[in-house]
Chains A and B, each alone.
Chain A
Amino acid sequence: MKVFEGLKFKRGTTAIHRLDPRTKFLISCIIFTLALLFTELISIIILFIAQIPFIFSARIYKEWSRSIRGSLTLVAIILLTNLIVGYVSNNFQLSSQLLTYSISMAFRFVVLMSSFSLFFLTTSPDDLSLALEQSHIPYEFCFAFTTAVRFVPVLAIEAQTIMDAQRSRGLELDKGNFLKRIRNYIPILIPLIVGAIRRSLELAEAMESRAFGAKKKRTNLYILQLKRSDYITFLISFIILSLALYIRYNITIPDIQIPL
């Protein structure tokens, strides 16, 4: 459940927090694009290191590292899948190239995770909703999206309670072989999903009784406005993106190889 904690907004007043949500979203998107553009281990490492100053200046190191640690299981799965598929399709031969590639694929996921973590940890759901609305996305979609984001931590807490309740009935989650362990999660997942569906129906009723959708055009108390710092960030991000694109298509990147 640590993964979800890394997506929960942490209130703050740092320069990163004060950036317009649209700017932050753009930064995350650029990191995302770059991570998908490059497959070399060295570029992925550079992308990872590039995020670290942001993490520290936003003072979210603790939460961020928690989300990264939480995603390690998935990272291991990606690494293993790449290794196995590569090994089989390569006539059952393990090469140093394959190893490097698999590691960079797994590390790429860490970069993606980290960029999302950075965005969600520093952007309040309210700001996010405003940003979407002001980008002319229909309010129903904005509402659905922000509600989903807002309920992630609630679901995480509920999952913990359900786990406690089932363990009190003698369920041992980390007992048995791999398949048995997956099956152990059924008693957790069913109440969690049923609860989420039930809650969404209740929420819909509650929203409707508060006149959701009564007027086509809603008014907002706050209006987002891009500041100078946002324009500067925009500019820098675009320069970096163009530079990266240039490098990607015109320069061969010297790649490191991890020896077997």
Chain B
Amino acid sequence: MIEVENVSFTYPSGVEALKEINLKIKDPDFIAIIGENGAGKTTFIKHLNGILKPTQGEIYVNGVNTKKASVAELSRDVGLVFQNPDHQLFCETVEEEIAFGLKNFGFNKDTISERVTWALNLLDLTKYRKVSPFMLSGGERKRVALATILSWDPKILVLDEPTIGQDFNQKEKLRQFIIQLNSQGRTVIMVTHDVEFVADCNPNVIVMSNTRIINTGSAREVLTNFDLLAKASVLPPQITQLFTQLSDLGLPQNIIDFYKAKQLIIELTKEKLDNEGL
């Protein structure tokens, strides 16, 4: 459980990055944070494991005030996966890379090798066990980065732009994977610009704009609210735009994902064909 109480943050350079953020995230929630570049999304998630401490207000992670705990202590519960995997990969093999965090948290040898195998399996990386992370493709490095964090099984997983550099298949796998983690009781928070991915995942959505949270709601509520999205420089999913433009034909305007859209079109076409007696 994460409680954010009236948090504001100003960088040492004087740039105000967050203003009066209030939020309560109960376990196991699934949240997507969207908003324009510079809205404060990344700054906000860096507060969740204590990398940044609020200049005003308090954040409690499972009852612990982030100002009173170290990043290492908080990271045990809040796993933060950075946007760019190249900012953290440094070991000679993928295996060692995954073991690094586990060693830092003081797991014993047997547990480490068990967890490494588990994480490699989970992200389809077993064949790269002994390969240097620097030899992998961008998408694979991104998965290694994710595996390094998942290895110690944090209760809350925070992902910064998880879909960047992933092809369609990997994105779909990632979606199923995130949903599975969530259904197993873990809280997942992701920052993304990919509205199509948000629509397919169907999480709760937080919209940030210009250092503030301007709205929260279900994916369906938020992604069909065109005025709200425009304020945060977000374009609704293409399916939503199409259905809205075709609303004259009697199509509903609250469709956000492909699957629902397909179903509706099949139903409508069938109905029409039936009416025409074909």
In the assembled complex, the CB of A195 is this many whole angstroms from the nearest CB of chain B, namely: 6
Cβ–Cβ < 8 Å partners of B46 in chain A: 164
Determine whether the beta carbon of A194 is less than 8 Å from that of B134: yes
Q: Render B55-87 as a binary contact track against A, CB cut-off 8 A, 1 for contact.
A: 000000000000000111001100110101011
Judged by a CB distance under 8 angstroms, whether B104 is at the interface is: yes
Q: Given contacts A158-B87, A161-B87, A165-B88, is CB(A170)–CB(B82) below 8 Å? A: no
Cβ–Cβ < 8 Å partners of B49 in chain A: 168
In the assembled complex, the CB of A202 is this many whole angstroms from the nearest CB of chain B, namely: 12
Partner of A191, one of B51, B80, B88, B149: B88
B interface residues, how many (CB within 8 angstroms) = 25
Determine whether the beta carbon of B76 is less than 8 Å from that of A191: no
Cβ–Cβ < 8 Å partners of B104 in chain A: 169-172
Judged by a CB distance under 8 angstroms, whether A162 is at the interface is: yes
Within 8 A of A (CB), among B79-129: 79-80, 82, 84, 86-90, 100-101, 104-105
Cβ–Cβ < 8 Å partners of B88 in chain A: 162, 165-166, 169, 187, 191
Determine whether the beta carbon of B89 is less than 8 Å from that of A191: yes
Judged by a CB distance under 8 angstroms, whether B148 is at the interface is: yes
Q: Which of A158, A166, A168, A186 has the most CB of B within 10 A?
A: A168
Determine whether the beta carbon of A168 is less than 8 Å from that of B87: no
Q: Which of B87, B148, B149, B152 has the most CB of A within 10 A?
A: B87
Judged by a CB distance under 8 angstroms, whether A36 is at the interface is: no
A contacts with B: majority SS: helix
Determine whether the beta carbon of B149 is less than 8 Å from that of A169: yes
Within 8 A of B (CB), among A126-161: 158, 161
Judged by a CB distance under 8 angstroms, whether A76 is at the interface is: no
Judged by a CB distance under 8 angstroms, whether A167 is at the interface is: yes
Q: How far is the CA of A209 from the CA of B71 in the complex (A)?
A: 43
Judged by a CB distance under 8 angstroms, whether A74 is at the interface is: no
Cβ–Cβ < 8 Å partners of B71 in chain A: 167-168
Determine whether the beta carbon of A169 is less than 8 Å from that of B89: no
Determine whether the beta carbon of B86 is less than 8 Å from that of A194: yes
Q: How far is the CA of A81 from the CA of B158 in the complex (A)?
A: 45
Cβ–Cβ < 8 Å partners of A164 in chain B: 46, 51, 82
Q: How far is the CA of A191 from the CA of B86 in the complex (A)?
A: 6
Determine whether the beta carbon of B87 is less than 8 Å from that of A169: no
In the assembled complex, the CB of A1 is this many whole angstroms from the nearest CB of chain B, namely: 11
